[in-house]
Structure 1
Amino acid sequence: MKKITSRASLVAGLVAASTVQAIELNDNLSLLIDVEVVSDYRSRGQSQTLGDPALQAGATLFHSSGLYAMVWTSNLDFGNGLKTRQELDYLGGYLWQINDDISLDVGHAKYTYPRSSQLNYNETYAVLSAYGFKAATQYADNYEGNQSYMWNWVGYDTKLPYDIDVSLHYGVVDYKDDVLVSNSGKTRQRYDEWVAKISKDFIGATWSLSYVDTDISKAECSNLMGYDDLCSATLVAGVKKSF
């Protein structure tokens, strides 16, 4: 069975950034628009574009109370005869900003796939941020229509000299079923994924380079995704423009 993994709901940083980068609509509402090009759309360590580039865009409406709503889209290609070539996500939540260094972001996301609606699913998430550290959990109970999964992860963001941003991430994805199958027939339901990312603002855009990897073997990836090269280590380059 092919497993789809969609964009992570890492909206805490995005929503927080909207308070300083976004267009102020009035005293209570602000709007942040992001457009990004990446060399590969990776989500939870797995390619969503068969290793090809993606154009992604999102818009977040943020209220001074902490409530927000977001829509996000990307091109994708799952292969395996699936017709969808787009992911369209809708998110809504609340960001509780305890102080400048501590926040809690809770919300709900709906992931949709035009022309392949059987892949649509919902996800609930919570992200705690404190002094650069992050801890999160994300849960879906209707993944591919009949399955649940849980994704727990931790991260750390910091800034180096010359205004270079560094983001480290480690997560564990649990499908709740033994969907990872090796060549020997051994099965498991969990896998690890990790990302190391550097980025820098330059000439009006944010340029980034990420190292993305998982502990999924080629055989497990082939049985899971239908291809054996979509879960291996890779470098992902990106450039983002915010309005």
Structure 2
Amino acid sequence: MNKLITVATSALALGLAAPAFAQEEPKEIEISGSATIASDYRFRGVSQSNKGMAVQAGFTAKHQSGLYAGVWASNLAGWGTFGGSNTELDIYGGYTLPVGGATLDAGLTWYMYPGGSDKTDFAEPFVKLSGAVGPANLLVGVAYAPKQEALGPWSLTGANAQAVLAGGNYNKPGAKDDNLYIWADANTALPSTPVTLKAHLGYSDGNPGLGPNGTSVAPTGKYWDWSLGADVAVGPLTLNVSYIDTDITNAQGAYLQPNFSSTKDGSTIAGSTVVVSVTGSF
């Protein structure tokens, strides 16, 4: 997923010098992790923290064979709560292998919202291909979540979703839908500086209504999201500043109201914004 923080899925080989005639063997399992404080949690361009601060953390264990597994969590608010507690917990796993001069990564992410019903959780398989092209690192990915109730258009409008909260009935209870996300990332380090420039472009195609949680992974059904930013390494920490936006207009999201807006002031949660975050890795 395109989060503000991506927990590393590849381990660094240890090349600690031993006697000249020997080298320490690589560890069979490497564990890496990170923790982040961010001014907003944007998932595919849409705020999951009601345009407020997010605290996030996760870790990954990778076997030298290429198999890996990990967990990642963040606080949520408003649109992002998905009918559960104010927490998102992602469990993921996969396998990486070299393909020519690139790396292929295939796996699955299980999105969980502790405290909610089992209808709010969903699984999303993914495939990513990454590699270096000149001074830049490029990645393209496809994530496809097959038809599941958590992604279905249970409420066709925000008005119906609000009526359900008041004890009413869904428009289409039990409906299932799928979701497709295609994205590309690029980054390049500025020579002789601690700065890395980053860019992201993504496209979502999914449920244009609202699921059993009163939200949708693809608000308005089809839309683009993008970001431009920079990482700055400061000792053991990384400071990121990113401009994030989508092509979802207020008119396009009107039928999702009042769900698809900030509960603080009614403003859009998919408009342009600047997100600042600080990450510590280990």
CA pair 203-188 structure 1, distance change in 2 beyond 3 A:
closer
Aligned to 1:3: none
CA pair 12-143 structure 1, distance change in 2 beyond 3 A:
farther
In 1, the alpha carbon distance for the partners of 2:6 and 2:236 equals 22
Q: Which runs of 5+ in 1 are unaligned?
A: 1-6, 181-186
Q: 1:214 aligns with which of 246, 252, 256?
A: 246
| Aligned structure 1 segments of 4 or more residues deviating by more than 2 angstroms | 7-13, 78-83, 177-180, 219-226
What are the within-5 Å matches in structure 2 for residues 1-243 of structure 1? 7-8=1-2, 14-16=8-10, 18-19=11-12, 27-79=27-79, 82-98=83-99, 102-117=102-117, 118-131=119-132, 132-141=137-146, 142=148, 144-145=150-151, 146-161=176-191, 162-175=193-206, 177-179=207-209, 189-224=221-256, 225-227=259-261, 228-243=267-282
Contact 1:218–1:229 at 8 Å: present in 2 too?
yes
In 2, the alpha carbon distance for the partners of 1:178 and 1:114 equals 25
CA pair 9-156 structure 1, distance change in 2 beyond 3 A:
same
Question: What is the SS of the residue equivalent to 2:270?
Answer: coil
Q: Which runs of 5+ in 2 are unaligned?
A: 15-25, 152-175, 211-218, 262-266
Question: What is the SS of the residue equivalent to 1:144?
Answer: helix
In 2, the alpha carbon distance for the partners of 1:34 and 1:240 equals 7
In 2, the alpha carbon distance for the partners of 1:190 and 1:155 equals 20
Question: What is the SS of the residue equivalent to 2:74?
Answer: strand
In 2, the alpha carbon distance for the partners of 1:133 and 1:217 equals 29
Contact 1:195–1:212 at 8 Å: present in 2 too?
yes
Deviations 1:168-218 (A, max 9, x none): 11111001x4449xxxxxx96310100112001103101100110000012
Q: What residue identity is the alignment partner of 1:15?
A: T
In 2, the alpha carbon distance for the partners of 1:234 and 1:9 equals 15
In 1, the alpha carbon distance for the partners of 2:272 and 2:36 equals 21
How far 1:166 sits from its partner (Å)? 1.2
Question: What is the SS of the residue equivalent to 1:170?
Answer: strand
Aligned to 2:171: none
Q: What residue identity is the alignment partner of 1:147?
A: D
Q: What residue identity is the alignment partner of 1:236?
A: V
How far 1:10 sits from its partner (Å)? 9.7
TM-score (norm 1): 0.83
How far 1:13 sits from its partner (Å)? 7.7
Deviations 1:62-121 (A, max 9, x none): 11111000101000013589452000110010011346x511111011000012232110
Question: What is the SS of the residue equivalent to 2:124?
Answer: strand
Deviations 1:123-153 (A, max 9, x none): 0001111211111100112262522110011
Deviations 1:202-242 (A, max 9, x none): 03101100110000012334544431410000000000001
TM-score (norm 2): 0.72
Deviations 1:11-50 (A, max 9, x none): 988212x3259xxxx7210111210111000000000000
CA pair 173-135 structure 1, distance change in 2 beyond 3 A:
same
**Percent same amino acid at aligned positions?**
30
Contact 2:42–2:48 at 8 Å: present in 1 too?
yes
Q: What residue identity is the alignment partner of 1:14?
A: A
In 2, the alpha carbon distance for the partners of 1:217 and 1:69 equals 37
In 1, the alpha carbon distance for the partners of 2:5 and 2:12 equals 13
Aligned to 1:4: none
Q: What residue identity is the alignment partner of 1:139?
A: Y
Question: What is the SS of the residue equivalent to 1:19?
Answer: coil
CA pair 40-221 structure 1, distance change in 2 beyond 3 A:
farther
In 2, the alpha carbon distance for the partners of 1:222 and 1:36 equals 33
CA-based RMSD of the aligned residues comes to 2.8
